[in-house]
Structure 1
Amino acid sequence: MLSSKLAALGTDTPIVTTWHEVWRDYWDGYLGKLAPFGKAIEHLTARVPQYPIAVSGITADRLAEIGPSRDRIKVVPNGIDVEKIRNAPLPEEGYDVLFAGRLIADKNVALLLDAFDSIAERHDATLGVIGDGPEIDRLQKQTAGLTHADQIEFLGFLDDYEDVLGHMRAAQVFASPSTREGFGITFAEAMAADCTVIAAKHPESAASEVIGDAGYLVEPTVDAIAGQLDAALNGDRPSTDPLERAGKYDWDAVAEQAETVYQRAIDGRW
C-alpha cells in the first residue's frame, strides 16, 4: 500500500485499498517483542490518504479506530464462485462434520474436537479436519486421547482448492468455532456447498455478518458447540437457506459492488 502511494505521487490516480483485517493488539501475540513495529506499520498505512474498503463491518470498525473515519470506509465483502463450489467433484470418502482452516489457537479446533467426541457415538459420525499450522501436533496429541479418535481424521493442507470444496459438498455440517475472523470466507463457501454452518459468537469475529440466519452462532465452549452439532446432525437446519445466503457473496454480486465504489473513487465522490 505504501509503495502504491509512492508510485502514484504527482498523478491523479486514486489509491483504493482493501482491508481484510486490522490486527491492533493482536500483533503482541504474533510478533512478541517486535510487535511495536507491526503496530507502527499498520497505523502508518491506515493514515496514508486512500479510499479504504473493508471486507466486513467489524473490520471497518477496527480500521476506523486507527485511521480514516468510519463514514469514509466502504464495506465490500469477499467473493466466492458459487457455481464452482456447487460443481466441485465429490471425494471418495467424505465426513459428516468438516473443519477447514489454518490450525492456530484462534480457530479453537481443540474445542471442536472435544465437542465432537462427546456426541460422536450417538450419531456414528465422522469429523474431517483440513489444514495445517502450528497447532497441528498439539491437536493430534489431544485427538489420540479422545474416546472416538478413530472417527476423526486430519487431512492436512490440500493443494487443490477443488478438493476442499468437494469435502464441503460431502459434509452435512461445517463447524469452525474461530473467535477471530476479519470476514470468514470458509463460512460463505460452506453455505454455497449447502452445509449447516456452525460458528462462534464473538466480538472479534465477523461470522455473524457473513452467516446471518443461514447458520448457527454459539458460544465458544465445548458444551455449546456439542449441543449445536448434536442438533445439526439430527437434521436441524437454519431458518434461511444457506444457498440463498451464499448468493450474496457470489462474484457477480460482489464485483458489482466493487465496481460502484471504484467508480466513486475515480469520480472523487467517495
Structure 2
Amino acid sequence: MMRSAAMDSFRKRLLFFYFGSGQFRYGIAEVFRHVLNGLDKQRYDLFLVITGTLNESVDNLSADVTVIELGHEGLKKSFLPLVKAIRRIRPDLVVSAMVHPNVLAALARLVSRYDCKLVLTVHSVITPQLENMWSEKQGRMIRKAVQLTYPSADHLVYVSRAVKEDFEKYFSRLPGVSVIHNPVLKESALPEPDFTVKEPGLIAVSSRLTGYKKIDEAISALQFLEERYHLVVMGDGPERGRLEALVAELDLDERVEFTGYVDDPFAWYRKAEIFVLPSVWEGFGNVLIESMACGCQVVANASAWAPPEVLGYGEYGFLYEGGQPEALASAIKKAATEPKPKEKLLRYAQRFTDKRVAREYEQLFDSLVGSPRMNSSESQ
C-alpha cells in the first residue's frame, strides 16, 4: 500500500536513544530491536540514534527504522551530537534506557529546547549495583544524577515489578510509571520445539561468565546429581579460567562443556532438557523465556529479584534458594521428574513477543503524544 503525504502528517516521530558501539546485540539492544520491529509503521516514524559507530549492520531490524550513528565513544562526547539530533529529527517522543544514557537524554532534551515527551526505561535492579558494582562515590553521584533528572521525564517504564519496587526504595518525586515486560521473541518466527531431539539430562546455562552470574553454582550442583546429568555452558568472560579450574578440581571434565560465545543459543535450547539461571540478580531474565519457548524446563534463583516474577512464582518454572548448589540440584531433579506441562510453557512464552509488547508501548506513547487517526480515504 502506498503511503500518502496526508498519512505522513498524522504519523508520530519516535527517537530511541542507545548507548553503544561496534555491535547492536544483546540486552538493551535486543529489547529496542523487538520494540522497534513490533511498532505499527503506519502510525510511527522510527529513529534509532546510536552513540557510537557500528561495525556491522543491525541484524533483523525493520527497514522502516532509520539508524543514525553519532560516531562518538562514551556518553560525554555524544551529548552535543544528541542535542543536535533531537533538533534535526524533531521527535514527538524520545525513549532511552539505563541510568547513564537516561540522565544524558534528559539533559539533552533540556538543552535542545525542543518540546518533546521523554520516556526513560529502567532495566536493572539498583541495590546490587550499589552494593557490588559501583564504588561508594560512584553510587552517590549516580543517585544524585537520577534525583535531578528523572523527575523531568514524562514517564518511566520498568521491565518488571521487581525493578520498580527496588528502584522506588531510593527515589521519590518520579513521574508516571508503567511495568512492561521485555519482548523476547519475534512473533513471525517463533521457535519450533522438537521434543524428539531433547537430550535427557542435558542442562544449559547461557550468560556472560562474570561473578554475579554464579555459573560456579551450576557446576557445583552436578556433584549432587547422577552422572547422566551434564552441563553445557554458553558464553565467555573473565570468569572462564576459574570455572574451568573448578570443573577440573571437582573431576567433572566429562560432564561439563564450555562452548564459548555461540551465535545461535536456540540450537542448544532445543536440545537441552533443563535450563538454569543461577544469577544473583536479574532485572528480567530474557533467557528464561527463550529457553522455555524451545521446550526447556527452567530453574532459577528465587532471590534474584525478577526471575520469580517472570516464572509466575513457580507456576512456569522451578525456584531454589540461591547460594546452595545442593538446593539447585534438588530443583533440577524435580524439573526432570515432575516437569511443567509443555504446552502450558509454550503458550506462556508466546506472551513475550515483539508484537504483543509493542502494543503496550503504543498505548503508552498514545497517552503521551496522542493517537494518530486517519479517515478511511487516507488509509487506503
Give the structure-2-normalised TM-score. 0.62
- How big is the shift at 1:57? 0.3
- How big is the shift at 1:243? 0.7
Aligned pairs (5 A) from 1:73-222: 73-81=177-185, 84=189, 86-87=191-192, 96-121=202-227, 124-158=228-262, 160=263, 163-202=264-303, 204-212=304-312, 213-220=315-322, 221-222=324-325
Q: What corresponds to 2:362 in structure 1?
A: 259
Preserved contact between residue 81 and residue 251 of structure 1 (Cα < 8 Å): yes
Unaligned runs of 5+ in 2: 1-101, 372-380
Change over 3 Å in CA distance of 1:117–1:209 after alignment to 2: same
Structure 1: 4+ residue segments shifted above 6 A? 92-95
Preserved contact between residue 88 and residue 165 of structure 1 (Cα < 8 Å): no
Give the counterpart letter for 1:258 in structure 2.
Y
Residue identity (%) = 25
Secondary structure, counterpart of 2:287 in structure 1: helix
Count of residue pairs the alignment pairs up: 260
Preserved contact between residue 192 and residue 247 of structure 1 (Cα < 8 Å): yes
Deviations 1:212-248 (A, max 9, x none): 11111111111211112123233x2126821111011
Unaligned runs of 5+ in 1: none
In structure 2, distance between residues paired with 1:49 and 1:70: 8
Secondary structure, counterpart of 2:351 in structure 1: helix
Q: 1:238 and 2:344 equivalent?
A: no
Preserved contact between residue 46 and residue 66 of structure 1 (Cα < 8 Å): no
Preserved contact between residue 52 and residue 74 of structure 1 (Cα < 8 Å): yes
In structure 2, distance between residues paired with 1:149 and 1:118: 15
Preserved contact between residue 43 and residue 66 of structure 1 (Cα < 8 Å): no
Q: What corresponds to 1:8 in structure 2?
A: 109
- How big is the shift at 1:264? 1.4
User: Greater strand percent: which structure?
Assistant: 2
Q: 1:72 and 2:154 equivalent?
A: no
Deviations 1:102-143 (A, max 9, x none): 22222221111111232141xx23210011223222111111
In structure 2, distance between residues paired with 1:70 and 1:188: 30
- Please say which structure displays the higher CA radius of gyration: 2
- How big is the shift at 1:44? 3.9
- How big is the shift at 1:24? 4.0
Alignment equivalent of 2:162, drawn from 58, 82, 101: 58
- How big is the shift at 1:263? 1.3
Change over 3 Å in CA distance of 1:150–1:230 after alignment to 2: same
- How big is the shift at 1:175? 0.6
